[in-house]
Protein backbone atom coordinates (compact mmCIF):
# COMPACT_ATOMS: atom_id res chain seq x y z
CA UNK A 1 0.00 0.00 0.00
CA UNK A 2 1.40 3.39 -0.97
CA UNK A 3 1.95 6.01 1.70
CA UNK A 4 -0.63 8.74 1.91
CA UNK A 5 0.56 12.03 0.47
CA UNK A 6 0.24 15.48 1.93
CA UNK A 7 -2.69 16.20 -0.34
CA UNK A 8 -4.48 13.19 1.03
CA UNK A 9 -3.78 14.12 4.62
CA UNK A 10 -5.09 17.60 3.89
CA UNK A 11 -8.29 16.09 2.59
CA UNK A 12 -8.58 13.94 5.68
CA UNK A 13 -8.17 16.95 7.94
CA UNK A 14 -10.60 19.12 5.99
CA UNK A 15 -14.20 19.77 6.89
CA UNK A 16 -15.16 16.44 5.49
CA UNK A 17 -13.98 13.62 7.66
CA UNK A 18 -15.27 12.88 11.12
CA UNK A 19 -15.54 9.15 11.49
CA UNK A 20 -13.69 6.02 10.44
CA UNK A 21 -15.13 3.34 8.18
CA UNK A 22 -13.42 0.06 7.61
CA UNK A 23 -13.44 -2.37 4.73
CA UNK A 24 -13.45 0.23 1.96
CA UNK A 25 -10.49 0.75 -0.34
CA UNK A 26 -9.69 2.26 -3.71
CA UNK A 27 -6.96 1.40 -6.22
CA UNK A 28 -5.36 3.61 -8.85
CA UNK A 29 -5.82 2.25 -12.35
CA UNK A 30 -2.58 3.90 -13.45
CA UNK A 31 0.00 3.16 -10.73
CA UNK A 32 -1.79 0.37 -8.86
CA UNK A 33 -1.51 2.02 -5.41
CA UNK A 34 -4.25 1.13 -2.96
CA UNK A 35 -5.67 3.49 -0.33
CA UNK A 36 -8.21 3.05 2.47
CA UNK A 37 -11.59 4.32 1.28
CA UNK A 38 -12.39 6.21 4.45
CA UNK A 39 -11.92 9.67 2.99
CA UNK A 40 -13.14 11.66 0.00
CA UNK A 41 -11.26 10.89 -3.18
CA UNK A 42 -11.09 12.35 -6.62
CA UNK A 43 -7.84 11.10 -8.13
CA UNK A 44 -4.87 9.05 -6.96
CA UNK A 45 -2.92 10.98 -4.34
CA UNK A 46 0.29 9.42 -5.65
CA UNK A 47 0.12 9.89 -9.40
CA UNK A 48 -3.13 11.70 -10.27
CA UNK A 49 -4.58 8.65 -12.05
CA UNK A 50 -8.23 7.63 -11.87
CA UNK A 51 -9.28 5.47 -8.94
CA UNK A 52 -11.50 2.40 -8.78
CA UNK A 53 -13.40 1.32 -5.68
CA UNK A 54 -12.25 -2.18 -4.73
CA UNK A 55 -14.75 -5.02 -4.87
CA UNK A 56 -14.33 -8.50 -3.44
CA UNK A 57 -13.52 -10.56 -6.52
CA UNK A 58 -12.28 -13.56 -4.55
CA UNK A 59 -15.86 -14.78 -4.41
CA UNK A 60 -17.76 -16.85 -6.97
CA UNK A 61 -21.40 -15.81 -7.23
CA UNK A 62 -24.49 -17.36 -8.72
CA UNK A 63 -27.64 -15.33 -9.42
CA UNK A 64 -29.12 -16.80 -6.23
CA UNK A 65 -26.70 -14.70 -4.23
CA UNK A 66 -28.80 -11.62 -4.99
CA UNK A 67 -32.04 -13.38 -4.12
CA UNK A 68 -30.70 -13.69 -0.58
CA UNK A 69 -31.39 -9.98 -0.09
CA UNK A 70 -35.09 -10.26 -0.92
CA UNK A 71 -37.11 -8.97 2.00
CA UNK A 72 -34.26 -6.85 3.37
CA UNK A 73 -34.05 -3.07 3.17
CA UNK A 74 -31.48 -3.41 0.35
CA UNK A 75 -34.09 -5.03 -1.90
CA UNK A 76 -35.97 -1.72 -1.96
CA UNK A 77 -33.23 -0.38 -4.22
CA UNK A 78 -32.18 -1.65 -7.65
CA UNK A 79 -28.67 -0.64 -6.63
CA UNK A 80 -28.24 -2.06 -3.13
CA UNK A 81 -29.84 -5.40 -4.00
CA UNK A 82 -26.51 -6.07 -5.76
CA UNK A 83 -24.59 -5.35 -2.54
CA UNK A 84 -22.20 -8.27 -3.05
CA UNK A 85 -20.66 -6.39 -5.96
CA UNK A 86 -20.65 -2.96 -4.36
CA UNK A 87 -18.33 -1.32 -1.81
CA UNK A 88 -19.28 -2.49 1.70
CA UNK A 89 -20.73 0.78 2.99
CA UNK A 90 -22.35 0.17 6.39
CA UNK A 91 -26.11 -0.19 6.08
CA UNK A 92 -26.87 2.56 8.60
CA UNK A 93 -25.28 5.16 6.31
CA UNK A 94 -27.13 4.22 3.15
CA UNK A 95 -29.16 7.01 1.57
CA UNK A 96 -31.58 5.48 -0.92
CA UNK A 97 -34.65 6.75 -2.74
CA UNK A 98 -35.54 3.40 -4.22
CA UNK A 99 -33.48 3.97 -7.37
CA UNK A 100 -32.99 1.44 -10.16
CA UNK A 101 -35.30 -1.48 -10.99
CA UNK A 102 -35.97 0.29 -14.29
CA UNK A 103 -37.92 -1.23 -17.19
CA UNK A 104 -36.52 -2.76 -20.36
CA UNK A 105 -38.79 -2.05 -23.33
CA UNK A 106 -38.71 -3.97 -26.60
CA UNK A 107 -40.30 -2.44 -29.66
CA UNK A 108 -40.01 -3.54 -33.29
CA UNK A 109 -40.26 0.07 -34.45
CA UNK A 110 -36.98 0.82 -32.71
CA UNK A 111 -35.31 -2.24 -34.23
CA UNK A 112 -36.65 -1.24 -37.64
CA UNK A 113 -35.32 2.30 -37.30
CA UNK A 114 -31.92 0.96 -36.27
CA UNK A 115 -31.87 -1.35 -39.31
CA UNK A 116 -31.83 -4.44 -37.11
CA UNK A 117 -33.64 -6.78 -39.48
CA UNK A 118 -33.71 -10.06 -37.64
CA UNK A 119 -32.23 -8.36 -34.58
CA UNK A 120 -33.78 -6.65 -31.59
CA UNK A 121 -33.48 -3.26 -29.94
CA UNK A 122 -34.46 -2.86 -26.30
CA UNK A 123 -34.48 0.31 -24.25
CA UNK A 124 -33.26 0.17 -20.67
CA UNK A 125 -35.03 3.24 -19.38
CA UNK A 126 -33.06 5.05 -16.72
CA UNK A 127 -35.49 7.95 -16.86
CA UNK A 128 -37.57 5.90 -14.41
CA UNK A 129 -35.24 6.75 -11.54
CA UNK A 130 -36.40 9.05 -8.71
CA UNK A 131 -35.03 12.27 -10.22
CA UNK A 132 -35.45 11.07 -13.80
CA UNK A 133 -31.94 9.98 -14.75
CA UNK A 134 -29.36 7.24 -14.22
CA UNK A 135 -27.38 9.56 -11.97
CA UNK A 136 -29.49 8.43 -9.00
CA UNK A 137 -27.87 5.01 -9.11
CA UNK A 138 -24.44 6.57 -8.73
CA UNK A 139 -25.63 9.15 -6.27
CA UNK A 140 -27.00 6.66 -3.74
CA UNK A 141 -23.51 5.18 -3.46
CA UNK A 142 -21.68 8.51 -3.55
CA UNK A 143 -23.89 10.18 -0.93
CA UNK A 144 -23.93 7.07 1.26
CA UNK A 145 -20.14 6.99 1.16
CA UNK A 146 -20.01 10.71 1.94
CA UNK A 147 -22.26 10.12 4.92
CA UNK A 148 -20.30 7.10 6.09
CA UNK A 149 -17.08 9.11 6.22
CA UNK A 150 -18.77 12.07 7.87
CA UNK A 151 -18.70 14.54 4.98
CA UNK A 152 -20.37 17.82 5.84
CA UNK A 153 -20.90 19.31 2.40
CA UNK A 154 -21.27 17.78 -1.05
CA UNK A 155 -20.65 19.38 -4.41
CA UNK A 156 -20.74 18.69 -8.13
CA UNK A 157 -20.31 20.38 -11.47
CA UNK A 158 -23.07 19.46 -13.86
CA UNK A 159 -24.83 19.73 -17.18
CA UNK A 160 -28.02 19.34 -15.14
CA UNK A 161 -28.84 15.76 -14.26
CA UNK A 162 -26.05 15.20 -11.76
CA UNK A 163 -27.02 18.42 -10.03
CA UNK A 164 -30.69 17.42 -9.77
CA UNK A 165 -29.70 14.04 -8.42
CA UNK A 166 -27.14 15.33 -5.93
CA UNK A 167 -29.56 17.98 -4.73
CA UNK A 168 -32.18 15.34 -4.03
CA UNK A 169 -29.93 12.80 -2.32
CA UNK A 170 -28.12 15.43 -0.27
CA UNK A 171 -31.50 16.76 0.88
CA UNK A 172 -32.53 13.21 1.80
CA UNK A 173 -29.35 12.86 3.83
CA UNK A 174 -29.82 16.28 5.43
CA UNK A 175 -26.52 17.51 3.99
CA UNK A 176 -25.85 20.77 2.15
CA UNK A 177 -25.11 20.57 -1.57
CA UNK A 178 -23.31 23.03 -3.81
CA UNK A 179 -23.64 22.73 -7.57
CA UNK A 180 -21.73 24.58 -10.26
CA UNK A 181 -23.42 24.84 -13.63
CA UNK A 182 -22.65 26.56 -16.92
CA UNK A 183 -24.99 29.56 -16.98
CA UNK A 184 -27.71 29.39 -19.64
CA UNK A 185 -26.54 26.00 -20.89
CA UNK A 186 -28.61 23.55 -18.90
CA UNK A 187 -32.28 22.82 -19.38
CA UNK A 188 -34.82 24.73 -17.32
CA UNK A 189 -36.33 21.45 -16.09
CA UNK A 190 -33.05 20.28 -14.55
CA UNK A 191 -32.29 23.67 -13.07
CA UNK A 192 -35.78 23.72 -11.56
CA UNK A 193 -35.27 20.35 -9.90
CA UNK A 194 -31.94 21.42 -8.48
CA UNK A 195 -33.34 24.65 -7.08
CA UNK A 196 -36.43 22.91 -5.71
CA UNK A 197 -34.36 20.31 -3.86
CA UNK A 198 -32.57 23.13 -2.07
CA UNK A 199 -29.03 22.98 -3.42
CA UNK A 200 -26.93 26.11 -3.53
CA UNK A 201 -26.69 26.79 -7.26
CA UNK A 202 -23.69 28.64 -8.61
CA UNK A 203 -23.78 29.60 -12.28
CA UNK A 204 -20.53 30.40 -14.02
CA UNK A 205 -19.79 32.14 -17.28
CA UNK A 206 -18.14 29.09 -18.80
CA UNK A 207 -18.80 25.54 -19.89
CA UNK A 208 -19.14 22.28 -17.94
CA UNK A 209 -15.43 21.53 -18.32
CA UNK A 210 -14.50 24.81 -16.65
CA UNK A 211 -17.08 24.21 -13.90
CA UNK A 212 -15.58 20.81 -13.13
CA UNK A 213 -12.02 22.15 -13.15
CA UNK A 214 -13.03 24.86 -10.70
CA UNK A 215 -14.79 22.42 -8.42
CA UNK A 216 -11.83 20.05 -8.39
CA UNK A 217 -9.67 22.88 -7.07
CA UNK A 218 -12.16 23.40 -4.25
CA UNK A 219 -12.39 19.67 -3.52
CA UNK A 220 -8.59 19.46 -3.29
CA UNK A 221 -8.72 21.83 -0.32
CA UNK A 222 -10.89 19.28 1.51
CA UNK A 223 -13.79 21.71 1.82
CA UNK A 224 -16.34 19.59 -0.03
CA UNK A 225 -17.04 15.98 -0.97
CA UNK A 226 -16.89 15.85 -4.78
CA UNK A 227 -19.87 13.90 -6.10
CA UNK A 228 -19.03 13.84 -9.82
CA UNK A 229 -18.33 10.49 -11.42
CA UNK A 230 -14.58 10.98 -11.22
CA UNK A 231 -15.18 10.03 -7.57
CA UNK A 232 -14.62 6.25 -7.54
CA UNK A 233 -17.80 5.52 -5.56
CA UNK A 234 -20.22 7.10 -8.04
CA UNK A 235 -19.65 4.62 -10.92
CA UNK A 236 -20.21 1.76 -8.46
CA UNK A 237 -23.94 2.47 -8.37
CA UNK A 238 -24.08 2.90 -12.13
CA UNK A 239 -22.70 -0.62 -12.57
CA UNK A 240 -26.11 -1.89 -11.53
CA UNK A 241 -27.64 -0.76 -14.85
CA UNK A 242 -25.54 -3.52 -16.39
CA UNK A 243 -26.37 -6.01 -13.64
CA UNK A 244 -30.08 -5.46 -14.26
CA UNK A 245 -29.60 -5.94 -18.01
CA UNK A 246 -27.70 -9.18 -17.43
CA UNK A 247 -30.34 -10.30 -14.98
CA UNK A 248 -32.98 -9.65 -17.61
CA UNK A 249 -31.13 -11.99 -19.97
CA UNK A 250 -30.96 -14.70 -17.28
CA UNK A 251 -27.28 -13.81 -16.75
CA UNK A 252 -26.52 -14.26 -20.42
CA UNK A 253 -25.49 -11.26 -22.48
CA UNK A 254 -26.97 -9.26 -25.34
CA UNK A 255 -24.59 -8.69 -28.27
CA UNK A 256 -24.30 -4.97 -27.63
CA UNK A 257 -24.99 -2.49 -24.86
CA UNK A 258 -25.10 1.06 -26.25
CA UNK A 259 -25.06 4.29 -24.25
CA UNK A 260 -24.45 8.02 -24.64
CA UNK A 261 -21.03 9.33 -23.63
CA UNK A 262 -20.40 12.71 -22.02
CA UNK A 263 -18.08 12.83 -19.03
CA UNK A 264 -17.71 9.04 -19.55
CA UNK A 265 -18.45 7.90 -15.99
CA UNK A 266 -21.13 5.55 -17.26
CA UNK A 267 -18.93 3.99 -19.93
CA UNK A 268 -16.36 3.45 -17.19
CA UNK A 269 -18.94 1.90 -14.88
CA UNK A 270 -20.28 -0.46 -17.55
CA UNK A 271 -16.87 -1.97 -18.30
CA UNK A 272 -16.14 -2.42 -14.59
CA UNK A 273 -19.52 -4.10 -14.08
CA UNK A 274 -18.96 -6.54 -16.94
CA UNK A 275 -15.42 -7.31 -15.86
CA UNK A 276 -16.56 -8.02 -12.29
CA UNK A 277 -19.60 -10.08 -13.33
CA UNK A 278 -17.25 -12.16 -15.47
CA UNK A 279 -14.63 -12.57 -12.74
CA UNK A 280 -17.10 -13.80 -10.14
CA UNK A 281 -18.57 -16.28 -12.61
CA UNK A 282 -21.96 -14.67 -13.26
CA UNK A 283 -21.39 -14.45 -17.03
CA UNK A 284 -19.14 -16.35 -19.42
CA UNK A 285 -18.84 -13.82 -22.25
CA UNK A 286 -18.92 -10.07 -22.64
CA UNK A 287 -21.21 -7.90 -24.76
CA UNK A 288 -19.66 -5.09 -26.76
CA UNK A 289 -20.02 -1.64 -25.27
CA UNK A 290 -20.90 1.05 -27.82
CA UNK A 291 -20.45 4.61 -26.61
CA UNK A 292 -22.11 7.32 -28.68
CA UNK A 293 -21.05 10.95 -28.37
CA UNK A 294 -22.66 14.03 -29.89
CA UNK A 295 -20.69 14.90 -33.02
CA UNK A 296 -19.89 18.36 -31.65
CA UNK A 297 -18.63 16.97 -28.34
CA UNK A 298 -16.71 13.89 -29.34
CA UNK A 299 -13.13 13.88 -28.05
CA UNK A 300 -13.44 10.23 -26.99
CA UNK A 301 -14.68 9.17 -30.43
CA UNK A 302 -11.70 10.95 -32.02
CA UNK A 303 -9.38 9.23 -29.55
CA UNK A 304 -10.90 5.87 -30.49
CA UNK A 305 -10.54 6.69 -34.20
CA UNK A 306 -6.82 7.33 -33.61
CA UNK A 307 -6.49 3.79 -32.22
CA UNK A 308 -6.33 5.35 -28.75
CA UNK A 309 -3.08 6.98 -29.78
CA UNK A 310 -3.92 10.66 -29.54
CA UNK A 311 -6.35 12.35 -27.15
CA UNK A 312 -7.26 16.03 -27.42
CA UNK A 313 -10.04 17.92 -25.59
CA UNK A 314 -12.48 19.90 -27.74
CA UNK A 315 -14.72 22.93 -27.30
CA UNK A 316 -18.07 21.16 -27.02
CA UNK A 317 -21.08 22.26 -29.05
CA UNK A 318 -24.32 20.28 -29.23
CA UNK A 319 -28.01 20.66 -28.67
CA UNK A 320 -27.83 17.64 -26.34
CA UNK A 321 -26.73 19.75 -23.39
CA UNK A 322 -26.44 16.75 -21.05
CA UNK A 323 -23.46 15.43 -23.00
CA UNK A 324 -21.95 18.77 -23.93
CA UNK A 325 -18.57 17.85 -22.45
CA UNK A 326 -15.29 18.65 -24.22
CA UNK A 327 -12.78 17.12 -21.84
CA UNK A 328 -14.32 14.07 -20.14
CA UNK A 329 -12.92 13.22 -16.71
CA UNK A 330 -13.11 9.43 -17.12
CA UNK A 331 -11.37 9.00 -20.49
CA UNK A 332 -8.84 6.43 -19.23
CA UNK A 333 -11.43 4.31 -17.47
CA UNK A 334 -13.75 4.50 -20.49
CA UNK A 335 -10.96 3.43 -22.81
CA UNK A 336 -10.47 0.38 -20.59
CA UNK A 337 -14.17 -0.49 -21.00
CA UNK A 338 -14.02 -0.21 -24.79
CA UNK A 339 -10.83 -2.26 -25.03
CA UNK A 340 -12.10 -4.90 -22.62
CA UNK A 341 -15.28 -5.53 -24.59
CA UNK A 342 -14.06 -4.98 -28.16
CA UNK A 343 -16.35 -1.98 -28.07
CA UNK A 344 -16.92 0.89 -30.46
CA UNK A 345 -17.07 4.65 -30.00
CA UNK A 346 -19.08 6.61 -32.52
CA UNK A 347 -20.91 9.90 -32.97
CA UNK A 348 -24.34 11.20 -33.93
CA UNK A 349 -25.13 14.68 -35.25
CA UNK A 350 -27.66 16.86 -33.49
CA UNK A 351 -30.23 16.19 -36.22
CA UNK A 352 -29.67 12.42 -35.88
CA UNK A 353 -30.04 12.66 -32.11
CA UNK A 354 -33.22 14.69 -32.40
CA UNK A 355 -34.83 12.32 -34.92
CA UNK A 356 -33.98 9.27 -32.81
CA UNK A 357 -35.33 11.03 -29.75
CA UNK A 358 -38.51 12.01 -31.57
CA UNK A 359 -39.09 8.36 -32.54
CA UNK A 360 -38.52 7.15 -28.98
CA UNK A 361 -41.01 9.81 -27.87
CA UNK A 362 -43.46 8.99 -30.63
CA UNK A 363 -43.78 5.35 -29.65
CA UNK A 364 -44.79 6.43 -26.19
CA UNK A 365 -41.55 5.85 -24.31
CA UNK A 366 -39.85 9.26 -24.37
CA UNK A 367 -36.39 10.48 -23.38
CA UNK A 368 -34.25 13.60 -23.39
CA UNK A 369 -32.09 14.36 -26.47
CA UNK A 370 -28.77 12.99 -25.14
CA UNK A 371 -30.43 9.70 -24.23
CA UNK A 372 -31.32 8.99 -27.84
CA UNK A 373 -27.63 8.74 -28.73
CA UNK A 374 -27.89 4.99 -28.10
CA UNK A 375 -30.43 4.50 -30.89
CA UNK A 376 -28.92 7.07 -33.27
CA UNK A 377 -25.46 5.53 -32.91
CA UNK A 378 -26.62 1.96 -33.43
CA UNK A 379 -28.52 2.98 -36.56
CA UNK A 380 -25.27 4.33 -38.03
CA UNK A 381 -23.21 1.31 -37.02
CA UNK A 382 -25.71 -1.13 -38.53
CA UNK A 383 -25.71 0.93 -41.71
CA UNK A 384 -21.90 0.92 -41.87
CA UNK A 385 -21.83 -2.84 -41.24
CA UNK A 386 -19.97 -2.57 -37.92
CA UNK A 387 -22.94 -4.12 -36.13
CA UNK A 388 -24.74 -7.09 -37.65
CA UNK A 389 -28.44 -6.56 -38.51
CA UNK A 390 -29.38 -9.64 -36.50
CA UNK A 391 -27.75 -8.36 -33.32
CA UNK A 392 -29.57 -8.07 -30.01
CA UNK A 393 -28.91 -4.57 -28.74
CA UNK A 394 -29.83 -2.92 -25.47
CA UNK A 395 -29.72 0.86 -25.73
CA UNK A 396 -29.52 2.64 -22.42
CA UNK A 397 -31.82 5.65 -22.38
CA UNK A 398 -30.36 7.80 -19.68
CA UNK A 399 -33.07 10.30 -18.76
CA UNK A 400 -36.76 11.16 -18.81
CA UNK A 401 -38.66 12.97 -21.57
CA UNK A 402 -39.53 15.85 -19.22
CA UNK A 403 -35.87 16.65 -18.62
CA UNK A 404 -35.75 18.96 -21.65
CA UNK A 405 -39.17 20.19 -22.73
CA UNK A 406 -37.72 23.19 -24.61
CA UNK A 407 -35.97 20.78 -26.98
CA UNK A 408 -39.27 19.01 -27.66
CA UNK A 409 -41.13 22.18 -28.53
CA UNK A 410 -38.25 23.41 -30.70
CA UNK A 411 -38.09 20.12 -32.63
CA UNK A 412 -41.77 19.90 -33.39
CA UNK A 413 -42.48 23.56 -34.07
CA UNK A 414 -39.37 24.55 -36.03
CA UNK A 415 -38.05 23.24 -39.33
CA UNK A 416 -34.77 21.31 -39.50
CA UNK A 417 -31.44 22.74 -40.64
CA UNK A 418 -32.30 21.86 -44.25
CA UNK A 419 -35.40 24.06 -44.04
CA UNK A 420 -37.76 21.08 -44.13
CA UNK A 421 -40.28 19.95 -41.59
CA UNK A 422 -38.57 17.41 -39.33
CA UNK A 423 -39.17 13.71 -39.83
CA UNK A 424 -41.38 13.17 -36.80
CA UNK A 425 -42.72 16.73 -36.33
CA UNK A 426 -46.11 16.80 -34.62
CA UNK A 427 -47.43 20.35 -34.70
CA UNK A 428 -50.38 21.43 -32.61
CA UNK A 429 -53.27 22.57 -34.81
CA UNK A 430 -55.31 25.73 -34.37
CA UNK A 431 -58.92 25.45 -35.54
CA UNK A 432 -62.12 27.45 -35.20
CA UNK A 433 -64.18 26.22 -32.25
CA UNK A 434 -66.66 24.37 -34.51
CA UNK A 435 -67.71 20.73 -34.70
CA UNK A 436 -67.07 20.46 -38.48
CA UNK A 437 -63.52 21.62 -38.12
CA UNK A 438 -62.96 19.21 -35.26
CA UNK A 439 -64.36 16.33 -37.30
CA UNK A 440 -62.04 17.12 -40.22
CA UNK A 441 -59.06 17.00 -37.86
CA UNK A 442 -60.23 13.63 -36.55
CA UNK A 443 -60.62 12.25 -40.09
CA UNK A 444 -57.11 13.35 -40.98
CA UNK A 445 -55.69 11.84 -37.80
CA UNK A 446 -57.36 8.49 -38.41
CA UNK A 447 -56.30 8.34 -42.06
CA UNK A 448 -52.73 9.44 -41.40
N1 LIG B 1 -27.14 11.08 -20.62
C2 LIG B 1 -27.58 12.02 -19.78
C3 LIG B 1 -29.04 12.30 -19.74
C4 LIG B 1 -26.65 12.72 -18.95
O5 LIG B 1 -27.11 13.64 -18.12
C6 LIG B 1 -25.29 12.43 -19.05
C7 LIG B 1 -24.31 13.13 -18.25
C8 LIG B 1 -24.90 11.43 -19.96
C9 LIG B 1 -25.84 10.79 -20.72
C10 LIG B 1 -23.48 11.06 -20.13
O11 LIG B 1 -23.03 10.25 -19.10
O12 LIG B 1 -21.15 11.65 -18.31
O13 LIG B 1 -21.39 9.26 -17.63
O14 LIG B 1 -20.76 9.85 -19.97
N15 LIG B 1 -24.56 14.15 -17.54
C16 LIG B 1 -23.61 14.78 -16.63
C17 LIG B 1 -24.31 15.74 -15.72
C18 LIG B 1 -22.38 15.30 -17.29
O19 LIG B 1 -23.67 16.66 -15.19
O20 LIG B 1 -25.50 15.56 -15.46
P21 LIG B 1 -21.49 10.24 -18.72
Kindly give the distance from the C-alpha atom of residue 321 to the centroid of ligand 1, in angstroms, as a whole number.
Answer: 9
| pLDDT tens per residue across span 260-308 | 999 999 999 999 999 999 999 999 999 999 999 999 999 999 999 999 9
Kindly give the distance from the C-alpha atom of residue 322 to the centroid of ligand 1, in angstroms, as a whole number.
Answer: 5
Tell me the pLDDT of the chain averaged across its residues.
93
CA-nearest residue for atom 4, ligand 1, is 322
C-alpha 75/C-alpha 36 separation (Å) is 27
pLDDT at 183 over 80: yes
Nearest alpha-carbon partner for 17 in 178, 148, 144, 174: 148
CA-nearest residue for atom 5, ligand 1, is 322
Kindly give the distance from the C-alpha atom of residue 266 to the centroid of ligand 1, in angstroms, as a whole number.
Answer: 8
Are 100 and 137 a contacting pair, CB within 8 Å? yes
| pLDDT tens per residue across span 197-211 | 999 999 999 999 999
Kindly give the distance from the C-alpha atom of residue 262 to the centroid of ligand 1, in angstroms, as a whole number.
Answer: 5
C-alpha 316/C-alpha 105 separation (Å) is 31
Are 199 and 128 a contacting pair, CB within 8 Å? no
Q: Which of 230, 262, 301 to mutate to test the pocket of ligand 1 (most atoms within 8 A of CB)?
A: 262
Confidence of residue 67 (pLDDT cuts 50, 70, 90): confident
**Pairing state between β 288-294 and 256-260:** parallel
pLDDT at 193 over 50: yes
CA-nearest residue for atom 19, ligand 1, is 158
pLDDT at 9 over 70: no
What residues does ligand 1 touch, defined as CB less than 6 Å away? 133, 135, 158-162, 229, 260-267, 322-323, 325, 368, 370-371, 398-399
C-alpha 210/C-alpha 157 separation (Å) is 9
pLDDT at 2 over 90: no
| pLDDT tens per residue across span 113-134 | 999 999 999 999 999 999 999 9
C-alpha 142/C-alpha 154 separation (Å) is 10
| pLDDT tens per residue across span 404-413 | 999 999 999 9
Confidence of residue 433 (pLDDT cuts 50, 70, 90): very high
Kindly give the distance from the C-alpha atom of residue 437 to the centroid of ligand 1, in angstroms, as a whole number.
Answer: 45
What was the pLDDT predicted at 445?
87
**Pairing state between β 104-106 and 120-125:** antiparallel
C-alpha count within 13 angstroms, C-beta hemisphere, residue 42:
24
What was the pLDDT predicted at 5?
28
Kindly give the distance from the C-alpha atom of residue 318 to the centroid of ligand 1, in angstroms, as a whole number.
Answer: 13
What was the pLDDT predicted at 22?
86
C-alpha 208/C-alpha 314 separation (Å) is 12
Q: Which of 164, 260, 261 to mutate to test the pocket of ligand 1 (most atoms within 8 A of CB)?
A: 260
Counting residues of the chain whose pLDDT is more than 90, the rounded percentage is 88
Q: Which of 161, 185, 353 to mutate to test the pocket of ligand 1 (most atoms within 8 A of CB)?
A: 161
pLDDT at 12 over 70: no
Closest atom, ligand 1, to C-alpha of 269: 13
> pTM here?
0.94
What's the CA angle centered on 19, arms 18 and 23, to 5 degrees? 140
pLDDT at 212 over 50: yes
Q: Which of 168, 292, 333, 398 to mutate to test the pocket of ligand 1 (most atoms within 8 A of CB)?
A: 398
Rg (CA), the chain: 22
Kindly give the distance from the C-alpha atom of residue 263 to the centroid of ligand 1, in angstroms, as a whole number.
Answer: 6
- Mean pLDDT on 334-342: 98
Kindly give the distance from the C-alpha atom of residue 320 to the centroid of ligand 1, in angstroms, as a whole number.
Answer: 10
- Mean pLDDT on 89-106: 96
| pLDDT tens per residue across span 13-29 | 444 444 568 889 999 99
Kindly give the distance from the C-alpha atom of residue 2 to the centroid of ligand 1, in angstroms, as a whole number.
Answer: 33
| pLDDT tens per residue across span 309-333 | 999 999 999 999 999 999 999 999 9
Kindly give the distance from the C-alpha atom of residue 71 to the centroid of ligand 1, in angstroms, as a whole number.
Answer: 32
Is 83 exposed, middle or buried, given 0-12, 13-18 or 19+ CB atoms closer than 10 A?
buried
Q: Which residues lie below 8 Å from residue 321, measured CB to CB, with a gap of 6+?
A: 159, 160, 185, 186, 187, 369, 370, 404
What was the pLDDT predicted at 416?
87
- Mean pLDDT on 347-376: 97
**Pairing state between β 200-204 and 177-182:** parallel
Amino acid sequence: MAALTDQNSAQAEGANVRQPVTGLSVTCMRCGSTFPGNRPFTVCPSCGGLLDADINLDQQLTPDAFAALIGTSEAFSGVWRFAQLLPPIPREHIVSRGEGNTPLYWDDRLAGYAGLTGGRFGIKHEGHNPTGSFKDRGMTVGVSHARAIGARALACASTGNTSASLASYAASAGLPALVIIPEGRISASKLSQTIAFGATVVQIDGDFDLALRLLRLLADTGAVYLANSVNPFRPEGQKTIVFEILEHFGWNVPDVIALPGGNLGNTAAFGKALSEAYQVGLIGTLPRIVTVQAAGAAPFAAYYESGFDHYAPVKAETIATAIKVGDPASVDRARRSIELTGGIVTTATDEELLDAKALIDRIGIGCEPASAASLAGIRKLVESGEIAPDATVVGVVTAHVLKDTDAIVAYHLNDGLDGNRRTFANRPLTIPAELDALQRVLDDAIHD
